[in-house]
Chains A and B, each alone.
Chain A
Amino acid sequence: MKLIKGNTTLSEDQQWVESIIEKDQLNQFNLTNTDAPFNYFESFPEKMLTRIHSEKMNQQKTFEWRNLFFNNYARMAVAAAFITVVAGTYLINNNIVKKMSTALVSIQEIPNDEIINYINNNEAIAELDIDADLTKENTSLQSFNENEIQKIHQSLTQ
């Protein structure tokens, strides 16, 4: 058995292999490992074209879906929706804060005279309510409970 090194030609390489194993046995090995079912190669191209067609259809479907979600109009719609949500949230939050602060400021900024006037006016209304209760027909002190009598007494003495 020889060992071939360096630049060897094809026939030299093949001769080297055949010096180890008989050519017939190598051919037999090749035959058993390259056999294909009957008519396989005749039907293969047709089978492949059918498969390529179905792959193309699948790719097209994926492409359509992708287009549906990622075309320019869809992107603009998504962006517009996002901006609306952000802006809406900002405006709503801003309005609530504004209202609250306005309410707080307005109570603090009411002049004292106005508050005193308001109390005085409401006192008169409250007195009128008590008078109305007392002057009702068939009203007796028995119909009032202790607390109510106390309240009436206080308002009359003030």
Chain B
Amino acid sequence: MSSDQALIIQFQQSSNREAVFTELMRKHQQKVYYQIKRMVLEHADADDIAQMVWIKVWNKLDGFKMESEFTTWLFRVAYNETLNYIQKQKKQGSRLSNDDLFTYENATGSSDEPKSTEIQIALDRSIKQLPEKQRIVFMLRYFEGYDYEKIAGIMGTTVGGAKANFHQAVKKIEKFVTAL
């Protein structure tokens, strides 16, 4: 598989841009989708945002100057699009995360459930109730295993800011889970 840099150069120079772009999409689409899905939870929302992200990438890739890693830029586009989407949803008055959470909780939660399910629900709830920035840092650090430099690059913040967000996120999750 070609490196991102080689693919981008091909895209910028080639007449067969669609084939090159398809290869880039195939390579990164899952990570982009997962990053978005962890933030918005609904597939339909994640699909909409993912499409917007890739259209933006198509439109801007000509001007991409390789000053940063392609994936950092790509995930930053995804992050910004997701935040914009969430903001729009909030303005329209619908809360993306909590409705699904409560449905899931009502369907599974009862006093007879084993402790692990309760913790699972609490974990779900605590992560979903984190502020967006803390949630994304937690996801990127714990599940994706990114270093703080990359996370800061994606979020357009400092390394210190990213670390602080992770720390806050873990403390809030801990508080939520231990309150059970």
Residues of B bordering A, CB below 8 Å: 18, 21-22, 25-26, 29-30, 33-34, 37-38, 41, 43, 47, 50-51, 54-55, 58, 116, 119-120, 123-124, 127, 141-143, 145, 147, 163, 166-167, 170, 173-174, 177-178
Provide the main secondary structure of the chain B interface.
helix
A33 touches B33 (CB 8 A): no
Task: Select the stretch in A40-48, A76-84, A92-100, A130-138 that faces chain B.
Answer: A40-48
For B18, what are the chain A residues with a Cβ–Cβ distance below 8 Å? 49, 52
Of the candidates A8, A36, A55, which one forms a contact with B37 in the assembled complex, judged by CB atoms under 8 Å apart?
A36
List residues of chain B with CB within 8 A of the CB of A26.
Answer: 123, 142-143
- Known contacts A45-B26, A48-B51; is A21 also within 8 Å of B141 by CB? no
Residue of B nearest to A59 (CB): B59
B123 A21 Cβ-Cβ under 8 A: yes
> Are B37 and A13 closer than 8 Å at their CB atoms?
no
Least Cβ–Cβ distance between B141 and chain A, in angstroms: 6
- Report whether B123 and A51 are in contact in the complex, using a CB–CB cutoff of 8 Å: no
Cross-chain contact of B30 among A21, A41, A55 (Cβ < 8 A): A41
* 6 A-B pairs with C-beta separation under 8 A: A21-B173, A22-B119, A29-B123, A36-B33, A41-B30, A48-B54
* B142 & A14 in contact (Cβ 8 Å cutoff): yes
The reply to whether B29 and A44 form a contact with Cβ atoms under 8 Å apart is yes
A28 CB contact (under 8 Å) in B30, B58, B120, B173: B120
A13, B51: Cβ atoms under 8 Å? no
Chain A interface, DSSP helix/strand/loop, else mixed: helix
> A25 and B120: CB pair below 8 A?
yes
Q: How many residues of A contact B (CB 8 A)?
A: 31
Measured in the bound complex, the distance between the Cα atoms of B146 and A14 in whole Å is 11
Instruction: Report if A10-B119 is in contact (Cβ < 8 Å); known contacts: A29-B124, A41-B29, A41-B33.
Output: no
* B-contacting residues, A23-37, CB 8 Å: 25-26, 28-30, 32-34, 36-37
Contact B174 A20 (CB under 8 A): yes
A55: B residues at CB distance < 8 A: 55
5 shortest interchain CB distances as A-B pairs? A34-B34, A45-B25, A20-B174, A45-B22, A48-B54
Closest to A28 in B: B120
The reply to whether B25 and A44 contact each other, CB–CB distance below 8 Å, is: yes
Closest to A52 in B: B58
User: In the complex, what's the smallest C-beta–C-beta distance from B36 to chain A, in angstroms?
Assistant: 10
Complex Cα distance, B123 from A22, in Å, reads: 10
Q: B142 and A17: CB pair below 8 A?
A: yes
Tell me if B51 and A51 are in contact (CB < 8 A). Answer: yes
The residue from B58, B142, B177 contacting A13, defined by CB atoms under 8 A apart: B142
Q: Does A144 contact B (CB under 8 A)?
A: no
A21 to B122, CA, bound (A): 10
* B142: chain A residues within 8 A (beta carbon): 13-14, 17, 26
